[in-house]
Amino acid sequence: MPKKSLKPRLSEETIKRGFKDLNRKKLLSHLKSFRITPEDVDRLVLIMRQGALRLIKHPNEKEEAKRASCVEAIVQHIQSEIGTEEAQKVSDLMVLIGQIETGYREIISATDTSPGASLSQSERITAILLAGEEEAAAHSEQIAQAIRENGPLDVQGLSLPGLREGERVDPEVYASVSISNITMSLLMEGFRGNLFNKEGLLTLPAPIEVSESEVNSARFILFFAASWRFWEFIEEDTRYFGGNIDSISGQAVPPEYLELGITKIWRHTSTSLEWSKVDLAANQRLAQGVQQNYFEMVNNNPASQVVGVEGASSLAPTHFISAEEMHSLWILEQTLSLKLSEHPALYSGLTLLEWLRGYSALRAFVENSEQDGAADTIHTSLQPRKKLIKQLQSVGLKGEAAEKFLKVAMLSRTSRDLFDTPLIGFKGDLILAYKPAIQSAIAAQVILSRISSLKKSFAIRGKAFEKTVLDLFKSQGLSAVSVKETHQKEEYDYDVLVRWDPYVFLFECKSRSLSGGNVVGSYRFQTEVSSQVKQVKRLVNGLNLHPDILERNLGKGASKLKLVPCVINALPFSLGNHEGIYFTDFSGVRRLFESGSFNMVVASKNTPSITLPKYRLWKEDKVGPDDLFRQVERSPQLRMAIAEMRPMDCSGRLSTNIVAETPRIVRHPLSHLERMEALK
């Protein structure tokens, strides 16, 4: 009886589980269950590279030995089945992984020998928090000084001087880096000192009095926390997007480095720069849109609708405790394409309105404390957990909602940063609301980020967004339909088809969250874009094969019109023409119908608002089909954002003698007039 042929069936899930458990037997058993091919090896290496192979950042001989045993078994199996050349691919990956782990361990070693390491645990933690507050205060003063010097505040064009001559830096970068360094420093203390409770929440020792010299010593810890984040960026970019990390030593090291005691350079070659421009532009557009809307809202004097924490016994929109809460409600409803008061779904046990009230209340509590002239130190800002729960219950988080909110807002071993989780636990069931993070964050953005990090999804979002897009075009008097048909056993689902002679626009609606600047999130977004291209091309092919779909749903002659296949995003991600598919975003399309030009509102010390020069969106006096085609083909909003994206050579010190280098895309803020120039 002939042998039954085994079809390749490499399972990503099995590989991930095997490496998670470091189960050599399970991994080998799976690989032996089919005839492995070079294509399987390539996919296996990719799966291992992109997260299945867990990094061991801190030395752990037992875990390292188990992992090495798993990898060696895989190498030997591949070598015996299809040869040394294919097996070498796995070995080469392990060389890269080894270099990455060495980078982390160099940082750990440098931190452990820095002046901050000589402090006691309580001294270090207190000094780290105080140093962070001092940095935040200095940053706020820098922004205030820039506003005083520049007069009217063009939020999008506001910049601070960088380290290089002529360099402009987005002020948010400084705030983000500072908060990121504090977060990483505290989490590193947690891992070192085993300070996480059984729920994974960080529980720090009580703060103590420290001297200014001890605070200065803690700045070395913050410095190496920044190095950790920097190396983490290189690690993730290399593992997901590819590229190399080359080691440079000896005479190849520049003299200026040698003078500083640097004898090695680890130079990262990135392959993701062009994509990073588009990704960063989308995230910047979202942030700038939020800021712009806030100034417009404040200009309309919302104070009459705000009752403050004393009168807010009900959730929004019945009561608003601040203008910021009102603003964040608008952002969430626009972003999610739903009305929050009609959306009772629970996310980690809370409705979105309860999430909104929780973060808005934290900010109000902090700001009220400042206005009351209360002593503002870490020692006096600690409060009992039960007291904070009662405060939250008094502003609408009834029953267990307050306790549930605390759990999602507390700093934990899985936290992204203190923006998402600004409450820090201390022994004695005490909590510190970390003011620098709370005051510089926007509740809506924090909520979206935190829910995403908890791996919760907005199930209703997709269909709600499709309806929003459809309703927009119908409100303009255009022929717009959603169509789902089956032809020759093939199902074709068209979210929105719009007839606007001489075009038919096909819109595939997507409501995925942006990357938020996260490298892994950016890579996954790029992967989804590639998948969406294939999806829309299949839909286009369906219309080519079955032109009657257009004729029946959009009227006679529709199949003869120019078809414009688009992916329209709920959030401001645009790409223009990409492989024959037009990637656009809802905010740009909606703005096209609202006004024939851009409208920019800026703050000023002496007047409520100032309107800057406009850019025409319509070719004629009213919007037309060619205007919509230009919007999806060459979005002016995208062009302005891309004009601010610049490559920059960045470096970070991993130890006393090793520096890492990488090119990164950063925002170089332009004034409104400079952005207008980019559209010419």
pLDDT tens track for 409-453: 999 999 989 999 999 999 999 999 999 999 988 999 899 889 888
The pLDDT of residue 276 is 98
Question: pLDDT of 237-258, one tens digit each?
Answer: 999 999 899 999 999 999 999 9
Are 126 and 241 contained in the same domain?
A: yes
Residue 176 shares a structural domain with residue 264: yes
**% pLDDT > 90, the chain:** 72
Is the domain of 71 the same as that of 141?
no
Confidence of residue 1 (pLDDT cuts 50, 70, 90): very low
Shared domain for 244 and 328, answered yes or no, is: no
E-strand stretches of 355-397: 383-384
- In a domain? residue 602: yes
The tokens for 403 are 């306790």
What pLDDT was estimated at residue 438?
Answer: 95
By the 8 A CB rule, do 415 and 355 touch? no
* Structural domain span for residue 352: 306-453
Which residue is it, tokens 């085609």?
A: 629
Which of 85, 112, 139 corresponds to the end of one domain? 112
**Other CB atoms within 10 Å distance of the CB of residue 295:** 17
Check residue 675 and give its pLDDT. Answer: 81
| 347-369 pLDDT tens trace | 999 999 999 999 999 999 999 88
What is the arithmetic mean of pLDDT over 55-72?
96
Angle at which helices 273-299 and 519-545 cross, to 10°: 90
Torsion of CA 383, 389, 390, 391, to 10 degrees: 70
Q: What is the pTM of this model?
A: 0.89
Same domain, 84 and 233: no
Q: 427 and 387, same structural domain?
A: yes
Number of domains in the chain: 4
Over the stretch 188-222, which tens digit does the pLDDT of each residue have? 999 989 999 999 999 999 999 999 999 999 999 99
532 and 599 share a domain? Answer: yes
| Pairing between β-strand 581-585 and β-strand 562-569 as defined by DSSP bridges | parallel
- Beta-carbon contacts of residue 312 (< 8 Å; ≥ 6 apart): 319, 320, 321, 357, 395, 396
Q: Where are the beta strands (DSSP E) in 141-243?
A: 160-161, 168-169, 203-204
Please report where in the chains the tokens 């001489």 appear, as a residue: 502
What CA–CA distances, in Å, run from 663 to 121, 330, 647?
Answer: 36, 37, 6
Cα-based angle 44, 47, 52 (whole degrees, multiple of 5): 120
| Amino acid 583: pLDDT | 99
Rounded to whole angstroms, how far apart are CA atoms 154 and 571? 23
Q: In terms of domains, do 429 and 440 share one?
A: yes
User: Phi and psi at residue 513, in whole multiples of 5°?
Assistant: -70, 155
Predicted local distance difference test score (pLDDT) of residue 548 = 97
Tokens 């009834």 belong to: 398
Cα 560 to Cα 548: distance, rounded to the nearest angstrom: 11
Q: What are the DSSP E strand ranges found in 543-607?
A: 562-569, 576-578, 581-585, 601-602
- Looking at the domain assignment, is residue 370 inside a domain? yes
Do 424 and 481 fall into the same domain?
no
Q: Is residue 641 part of a domain?
A: no
pLDDT of residue 3: 42
525 lies in some domain? yes
Q: Mean pLDDT in the chain?
A: 90
**99 inside domain:** yes
**Lowest mean pLDDT segment, chosen from 8-12, 539-543, 584-588, 595-599:** 595-599
Instruction: Indicate if the pLDDT at residue 172 is higher than 80.
Output: no
Give dist(CA 312, CA 351) in Å, integer: 17
DSSP 664: E
pLDDT of 265 above 70: yes
**Residue 68 falls inside a structural domain:** yes
**Are 651 and 615 within one domain?**
no
Per-residue pLDDT at 606 exceeds 80: no
| 288: in domain | no
**Cα 441 to Cα 183: distance, rounded to the nearest angstrom:** 15
Q: How far is the C-alpha of 487 from the C-alpha of 483, rounded, in Å?
A: 13
CB 414 within 8 A of CB 200: yes
Report the relative pairing of strands 610-611 and 601-602 from DSSP bridges: antiparallel
**pLDDT surpasses 80 at 455:** no
Say which residue, 612 or 620, is predicted with more confidence. 620
Mean pLDDT along residues 558-586: 97
Does residue 160 surpass a pLDDT of 60? Answer: no
Q: Which of 112, 140, 162 is the last residue of a domain?
A: 112
For residue 143, pLDDT over 80 is answered with no
Q: How many beta carbons lie within 10 A of that of residue 419, not counting itself?
A: 24
Q: What is the per-residue pLDDT for 2?
A: 40
Same domain, yes or no, for 565 and 587?
yes
Q: In the predicted model, what is the mean pLDDT of residues 360-387?
A: 82
For 202, the 3-state DSSP assignment is: strand
Q: Is 77 helix (H, G, I), strand (E, B) or coil?
A: helix
Examine residue 337 and state whether it is found in any structural domain, yes or no.
Answer: yes
**Average pLDDT of the residues in 170-182:** 78
Q: Are residues 269 and 320 both part of a single domain? A: no
Q: Which helix (H) or strand (E) holds 444?
A: helix 443-453
**How would residue 85 be classed by pLDDT, with cut points 50, 70 and 90?**
very high
DSSP state of 342: G
pLDDT (mean) for 639-648:
94
The whole-angstrom separation of Cα 530 and Cα 417 is 30
